[in-house]
């Protein structure tokens, strides 16, 4: 499974893997889950590399795959109840945590209160620094709808911040 698209997709993924993990973690809030979502997105992208018509669109194409994988992971695991294993086999106190990827808990919780459509747009725009046009392509939503959701989401976020600070 090699070809022009395949090699360029692999190159793009390798160059941006930290961004992908950060985005997945901001959705899933679990290291293993985020890694699973990124891995699944990479596998899906490489399997479908021939379906990418324009290699210049690899960024929006891959982000769409990743966002969909994150949402699928959340839907699949939202009914599971985590069990606190404490110090499971003595490893509990030696778990490696990459603090660079830990989101600011306050802003993360506030974003969760906005709903997934608005949260996706804000994450992609402010944290991944994508353009509104790219977000429109990723979410397969009209550009004006993306703008509207972004600005209404920011107004809601401002209200949430104000409410939490009182």
Band the pLDDT of 35: cuts 50, 70, 90: very high
Confidence (pTM)? 0.74
Band the pLDDT of 105: cuts 50, 70, 90: low
Write out pLDDT tens, residues 38-89: 999 999 999 999 888 899 999 999 999 999 999 999 988 876 545 444 444 4
CA 118 vs CA 41, 93, 133: distances in Å: 21, 36, 15
Cβ–Cβ < 8 Å for 46, 18? no
Please give the mean pLDDT across all residues of the chain.
Answer: 84
Write out pLDDT tens, residues 41-50: 999 999 999 8
By percentage, how much of the chain surpasses pLDDT 70?
A: 82
Cβ–Cβ < 8 Å for 120, 150? no
By percentage, how much of the chain surpasses pLDDT 90?
A: 57
The per-residue pLDDT for 80 is 55
Largest separation between any pair of C-alpha atoms in the chain: 57
| Span 157-163, average pLDDT | 89
More confident residue, 138 or 85: 138
Nearest to 29 by CA among 69, 62, 74, 63: 74
| Span 101-121, average pLDDT | 78
The per-residue pLDDT for 116 is 85
The per-residue pLDDT for 97 is 45
Residue 132 in this model has a pLDDT that exceeds 50: yes
């Amino acid at each position: 499974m090699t070809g022009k698209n395949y090699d360029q997709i692999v190159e793009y993924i390798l160059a941006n893997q930290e961004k992908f993990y950060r985005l997945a973690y901001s959705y899933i809030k679990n290291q293993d889950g985020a890694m699973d979502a990124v891995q699944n997105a990479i596998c899906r992208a490489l399997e479908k590399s021939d379906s990418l018509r324009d290699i210049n669109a690899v960024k929006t194409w891959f982000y769409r795959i990743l966002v969909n994988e994150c949402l699928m992971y959340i839907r699949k695991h939202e009914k599971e109840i985590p069990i606190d294993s404490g110090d499971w086999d003595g490893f509990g106190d030696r778990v490696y945590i990459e603090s660079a990827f830990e989101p600011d808990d306050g802003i993360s919780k506030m974003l969760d209160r906005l709903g997934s459509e608005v949260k996706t747009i804000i994450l992609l725009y402010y944290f991944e620094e994508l353009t509104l046009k790219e977000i429109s392509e990723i979410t397969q939503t009209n550009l004006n709808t993306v703008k509207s959701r972004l600005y209404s989401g920011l107004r809601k976020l401002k209200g949430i911040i104000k409410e939490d600070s009182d």
